[in-house]
Amino acid sequence: MKTSIWAVSACVIIGASLTSCGNSTTSTTHTVSSDTIRTSDSTMQISTVEIDTYRKQYNDSIAANQRSIDELNARIADEKAERREEDKKRAAELETKNSEMKRKLDEFKASTKADWESFKTGFNHDMHELGQSIKDFKNKL
């Protein structure tokens, strides 16, 4: 009889241990899942510092483009009349594109990290093309 009491007691203790271990594992797994979700959410948020830094960098580039366009306009004024009109038109196109890039940068509002990354990719490409166009036009003059 003593043996059966010990056996029953041992079964109760083992059963209680397994039951409490199972709950602990489940809640730990749930906590890890919540942390993972929080981490995922924070990576989807856009850093305003990153956006501000990007805007400052490209506002400086846009200002440099404008200075280059102003220099081009000064050189065009000294050209012969037959080339002057065509070159003025091309300089005006570059200036318009530069202004559009500034407006696009100033007006951008992102709601997700994916929107921000997509904007940056397109904007970087457009800025590179504009810079190359200005450089090519400068070399032509």
For 38-64, what is each residue's pLDDT tens digit? 434 445 577 889 999 999 999 999 999
- Are residues 115 and 77 part of one domain? yes
Instruction: Indicate whether 63 and 118 sit together in one domain.
Output: yes
Cβ(95)–Cβ(65) under 8 Å?
no
Q: Are residues 53 and 120 in the same domain?
A: yes
Domain count, the chain: 2
- Looking at the structure, do residues 51 and 111 belong to the same domain, yes or no? yes
pLDDT score recorded for residue 23? 45
Higher pLDDT, 78 or 11: 78
Statement to judge: residues 99 and 51 lie in one domain: yes
Q: In whole angstroms, how far apart are CA 101 and each of 39, 40, 42?
A: 34, 32, 29
The domain in which residue 32 lies consists of: 1-43
H or E, element range at 105: helix 81-107
C-beta separation of 94 from 66 below 8 A: no
Position 14 scores a pLDDT of 59
Predicted pLDDT at 31: 40
pLDDT of 29 higher than 60: no
Residue 30 sits in the same domain as residue 67: no
Q: Are residues 26 and 81 in the same domain?
A: no
Residue written as tokens 């990576």?
43
Both 24 and 81 in a single domain? no
